[in-house]
């Protein structure tokens, strides 16, 4: 992990989805009732791994463009081979919640 900001984003993202009730598949974010929304939408209550990272970055810096830049760096650090194996979204959608938290924990331990 390159910076303290990136590490804090990952810590906060993990906290967002630590409870399986706040995690989702097949969409970046959704409401409590499962309606898809953007990751920065105030009504979002559940996130996938990537959506949680983006939301955590946004909550930390308050700017969507800057949050997206930081979040993309974090995603690449959590699963560095993202572009040839479909990466973190594939793990989220096919391997599930426990696998996602394991990747987050592994990235945090390496930080």
Write out pLDDT tens, residues 100-110: 999 899 888 88
Write out pLDDT tens, residues 7-63: 999 999 999 999 999 999 999 999 999 999 999 999 999 999 999 999 999 999 999
Query: For residue 73, is pLDDT > 50?
Result: yes
- Whole-angstrom distance, CA of residue 78 vs CA of residue 105: 9
Average pLDDT, stretch 60-83?
83
What are the CA-CA distances from residue 23 to residues 4, 61, 81, 90, 96 (Å)? 24, 22, 23, 15, 10
| Token pair recorded at residue 19 | 């409870």
How would residue 111 be classed by pLDDT, with cut points 50, 70 and 90?
confident
Query: For residue 2, is pLDDT > 70?
Result: no
């Amino acid at each position: 992990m390159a910076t303290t900001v990136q590490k804090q984003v990952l810590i906060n993202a993990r906290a967002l989805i630590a409870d399986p009730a706040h995690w989702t598949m097949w969409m970046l974010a959704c409401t409590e009732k499962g309606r898809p929304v953007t990751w920065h939408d105030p009504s979002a209550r559940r996130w996938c791994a990537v959506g949680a990272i983006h939301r955590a970055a946004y909550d930390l810096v308050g700017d969507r463009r800057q949050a997206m830049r930081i979040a993309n760096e974090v995603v690449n650090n959590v699963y560095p081979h993202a572009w040839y194996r479909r990466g973190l979204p594939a793990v989220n959608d096919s391997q599930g919640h426990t696998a996602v938290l394991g990747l987050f924990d592994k990235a945090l331990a390496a930080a």
